[in-house]
Amino acid sequence: PKRSKSKVSVQQTIEQKIQNALSPSHLDIINESHMHNVPEGAESHFKVVVVAPVFESLSLVQRHQKINFILAKELNEDIHALSIETHTDQEWKIREGKVLNSPKCRGGSKAET
């Protein structure tokens, strides 16, 4: 008999893919969907904060391209909006672990209703 497989959340998939591809020293995956006009429990708006040694030799654009490449399937199928912060270990140390606030939703946030 078939065993039912529990569905892996989009957030878990994002975390696994980034972990496997970059072995980050710090990783935050923040579901920001609740800040937008989407159904309760939605997984459509995310912020990722990735600190990894691989970013040492990459420009900001190259870092974001790397994240976009890793999450290409999810960006195409599941994710409506993705905010990306990428840092080297030294940059993260200088920031003292502070994360930037995401911009306000321009597509009808719950705050506007």
Q: Which of 1-5, 77-81, 83-87, 108-112 has the highest mean pLDDT?
A: 83-87
Which tens digits make up the pLDDT trace of 18-45? Answer: 999 999 999 999 988 777 667 676 687 8
Q: Give the span between the Cα atoms of 55 and 59, in whole angstroms.
A: 8
DSSP string over 65-106: HHHHHHTHHHHHHT-SEEEEEEE-HHHHHHHTT--PPPPPPS
Confidence of residue 16 (pLDDT cuts 50, 70, 90): very high
Give φ, ψ of 82 to 5 degrees.
Answer: -135, 120
Two tokens at 77? 């199928």
Which tens digits make up the pLDDT trace of 42-56? Answer: 687 899 999 999 999
C-alpha dihedral sign at 50, 69, 73, 39:
positive
